[in-house]
Amino acid sequence: MRPGQRAAAAFAAAHGHAPVGVWSAPGRVNLIGEHTDYNDGFVLPFALPNRVAVAAEPRSDGRLSVASLGDDGRLHRTEPVAVSDLGPGRVTGWAAYPMGVAWALRTAGVPVGGVELLIASDVPAGAGLSSSHALQCAVALALLGLAGREVGAEGAPGRPEVARWVQRSENDFVGAPTGLLDQTASLCCTAAHVLFFDVRSGCGEQIPFDVAADEMAVLVIDTRASHSHSESGYADRRRGCEHAAELLGVPALRDIDPAGVDEALGRLPAELRPLVRHAVTENERVLRTVAALRAGRLDEVGPLLTGSHTSLRDDYRVSCPELDLAVDSALAAGAAGARMTGGGFGGSAIALVPTAGLASVERAVAVAFAERGYGAPRLFTVVPAAGAGREE
Ligand code: GAF
């Protein structure tokens, strides 16, 4: 059963009646454009078929109650909290993600009252595929729907605006200084396309992405690794970029002209140079990937993906041995290109693989992990799926 059906069925079993509605939002893969979003740059994600679904109905006591359906079929409930009491720092643990969204929407003037939420998901958690943002986006749509502001309806907020509210909930309520990539991907991507998104302007363009037509596939390699310094590592990189922009006298690293990057690097302390080099060259790689896709030249995309990984590994230093092994073993077995995707320090890599060689790439990656003594990676192919919306 799909998450939407599971959420609806579990809601009916728990409450004795159907929910008022079910909304869902996908996880994402970022094809290229990593650690560029908080530098006002370019990203190129697509939505996964895997989704987080939320079954919901209003409560009359003004409290927000969240239950999550575990893989074991059990419901994990959080203590209901009065919506009017929600504020940064008042909720910890995973409940901060849905509750922060209620807080952000209220702060933005959306009339959020008491709500009963039941969550079901098939987005692998902790895999760098943005399961927490999918959860937040599905909750945002549910709260908007219950408040009579269904996204897409006349007078309702637009998806980019909802993405900014979700980002605010994560930055200010949960306390994670993340950018706009993941929320935008979950809310704004469409089936069969990658979303070319300019974070500064807020403009997005849907670009057809049908690798099967070129007898290729996108393989996700979830390394199942997660490294404890990921949060501090992310925040350090972001601070470093902001500091470098300040020293260079520009609003964001997006403003560094690639042609003048060497001159800019020369004006920075040594430890900031690799961060800037990554941010500037990664934006260039996104633009070149977009140009290649528009021209139907998929053969040019693989090397750009691999170039992105090298830059994230050597300059930005957010890769890890498991991600490097996933990329190296996929390339050695015939992938056209491969890179880590998402924030890094564990999670998933993606590889662009000729369909005819898919089985041997999968085998080679699995063998490489076993030989290194790592746990078996989770391997699956993906095609771009629909963005967030109402299911029933
Ligand atoms: C994480 C963050 F949430 C995104 O905003 C983005 O910065 C990404 O890491 C790196 O590109 O997913």
Question: What HEC string does 208-248 produce?
Answer: ECCHHHHCEEEEEEEEEEECCCHHHHHHHHHHHHHHHHHHH
ipTM above threshold 0.85: yes
Average pLDDT, the chain: 97
- Whole-number Å distance, alpha carbon 114 to ligand 1 midpoint, is 31
Nearest CA to ligand 1 atom 2: 178
- Read off the pLDDT of each residue in 318-346 and give the average, rounded to a whole number: 98
Ligand 1 proximity of 181 Cβ (cutoff 6 Å): yes
Question: How large a percentage of the chain has pLDDT more than 70?
Answer: 100
So what's the pLDDT on residue 50? 98
- Whole-number Å distance, alpha carbon 13 to ligand 1 midpoint, is 37
User: Using one digit for the tens of pLDDT, what is the confidence trace for 42-96?
Assistant: 999 999 999 999 999 999 999 999 999 998 999 999 999 999 999 999 999 999 9
Strands (E), the chain: 21-30, 42-43, 45-58, 63-69, 75-77, 81-82, 115-121, 193-198, 203-208, 216-226, 337-340, 346-354, 378-382, 389-390
Cβ contact 167:82 at 8 Å? no
Q: Identify the residue whose tokens are 């500037």.
A: 280
For residue 315, indicate whether it is catalytic.
Answer: no
CA–CA separation, 44 vs 60, rounded Å? Answer: 42
- Whole-number Å distance, alpha carbon 30 to ligand 1 midpoint, is 9
Ligand 1 pocket, mutate which of 29, 133, 169, 178 (most atoms under 8 A from CB): 178
User: Using one digit for the tens of pLDDT, what is the confidence trace for 200-258?
Assistant: 999 999 999 999 999 999 999 999 998 877 888 999 999 999 999 999 999 999 999 99
Ligand 1 proximity of 178 Cβ (cutoff 6 Å): yes
Strand order from edge to edge, sheet including 42-43: 42-43, 193-198, 203-208
Beta bridge partners of 87: none
Nearest CA to ligand 1 atom 8: 343
Question: How large a percentage of the chain has pLDDT more than 90?
Answer: 96
Ligand 1 proximity of 182 Cβ (cutoff 6 Å): yes
Query: Atom of ligand 1 at shortest distance to CA of 43?
Result: 11
Arch. (CATH architecture) of 209-382:
2-Layer Sandwich (3.30)
3-207+386-390 CATH: 3.30.230.10
Chain region(s) in the chain for CATH 3.30.230.10: 3-207+386-390
- Read off the pLDDT of each residue in 99-104 and give the average, rounded to a whole number: 98
Sign (positive/negative) of CA torsion 122, 138, 98, 131? positive
pLDDT at position 336 over 80: yes
Confidence of residue 168 (pLDDT cuts 50, 70, 90): very high
Ligand 1 pocket, mutate which of 187, 234, 308 (most atoms under 8 A from CB): 234
Please count the residues of the chain.
392
Least confident of 61-65, 152-156, 315-319: 152-156
Which pTM value belongs to this model?
0.97
So what's the pLDDT on residue 209? 98
pLDDT at position 291 over 80: yes
Confidence of residue 136 (pLDDT cuts 50, 70, 90): very high
So what's the pLDDT on residue 167? 98
Cα dist from 267 to 239, 249, 274, 292, whole Å: 18, 11, 13, 33
Chain region(s) in the chain for CATH 3.30.70.890: 209-382
- Read off the pLDDT of each residue in 295-313 and give the average, rounded to a whole number: 98
So what's the pLDDT on residue 229? 76
So what's the pLDDT on residue 145? 98
So what's the pLDDT on residue 348? 98
Ligand 1 proximity of 38 Cβ (cutoff 6 Å): yes
CA–CA separation, 163 vs 25, rounded Å? Answer: 12
- Read off the pLDDT of each residue in 95-117 and give the average, rounded to a whole number: 97
So what's the pLDDT on residue 289? 98
- Whole-number Å distance, alpha carbon 25 to ligand 1 midpoint, is 17
So what's the pLDDT on residue 228? 76
- Whole-number Å distance, alpha carbon 102 to ligand 1 midpoint, is 22
So what's the pLDDT on residue 227? 80
pLDDT at position 282 over 90: yes
Residue of 37, 40, 182, 222 marked catalytic = 182
So what's the pLDDT on residue 382? 98
